[in-house]
Structure 1
């Protein structure tokens, strides 16, 4: 069973075996929401089903709950069951952005108690490099029974993050780029800056130059330096909208440092209320 990452070579072997994984294509671009569906139509891993970040992996926006609020879990569970994700079914999510969007699917399945889920390390490129092929067309879906179980991941609310400013019980780590964290070059959200007291760990720092995750021991050393003695389970992760923070949580699980929680609304929810404090620099 794969629970964090799987290499292209290992996935190739798995898919040739008697019990192949169910594949979820999560390709997406924030500046072009239709990109992923077009890329999927042009060619995807054999048997893969497409999940859209906005339509499948996020819920309805109110203007106060962030750019990518969590989906209704009952709706997502029904969607996964319709695609053939059953209890005990190995799932592998992939994209072409270093796991940026696939990690969201990984985290959501774990939130629903499904442990048998991993991200393809290196995405489409690593599959092709291992000798895998792409296909077009949509595979036939085989409905399965998907049971929601006790969550394997945790969340914290905006109210809890606000209360934490006065009585710190956890450390907040922001997965956005260093410039946006500092309040510079903000082009996505209407307010620049970060949650007061947050630490910064851009999610791309989890990857090597080849677009794959760093070795577990390397990640563990880097993250422990950032934590500075704070245990992993006392850390809350956020980003712009609760997507790339999942990448940090995946990296920590890969590094053997699980237990952190997600603030799903993240900066886009936080900054929607002018009464919440903002820090820059």
Structure 2
């Protein structure tokens, strides 16, 4: 069996790059590190690649050591994936996201379907019944953005180390109740985006939170922030505030108005 290793090189425009089997990565400089772009130039030598060949996104690193560590982690993922019993199957069926175009069997009773717009896993009745109650969705369909992590946590042996880490992070951030029910403990705010968001909303329920912003046409150097109490949207009262452009940053959950410093824009 062919041993899958990373091939490193430098692109025509001087960027770090690597190829691992059918995965290609280019490190593109950004303000605070390097954006890792997946590349479309796998048939060419790395020396002929350029930043223009990058199209997807596979994370961000701080430096060359971080890039190499990321590439080696990807290589391990590709090697582990090659050892799993995944295979394309000729199954076409309706899914919650439309007619399937391709299907990959991860194991008997566990199939991942792709459609023109979306995709996800389907667990048959037996496989779904065997899921931990905290992870189980009644209809057996687990969409590819977040719900897939429920299936990956329920059947970890069918996924690579990298996929399992991603599943754990996804559950913490977007399905914290499922993670807590499966692991038997509560998540702290620092451990989960959703739990931190809930805490932010409690802390600032009576504060004005910016829900949209634009540069002020009348006050150079200022942002006009349109805010609502608690950051709620829809049919709610809003206010307009002037915010120095140098300090405005949307932040993890929203920018909080300080009435003593951010004056009404009207």
TM interval, shorter chain, is under 0.3
Greater gyration radius = 2
Higher relative contact order (CA 8 A, sep 6+): 1
Identify, as 1 or 2, the structure richer in strand: 2
TM-score, with length taken from structure 2: 0.26
TM-score, with length taken from structure 1: 0.25
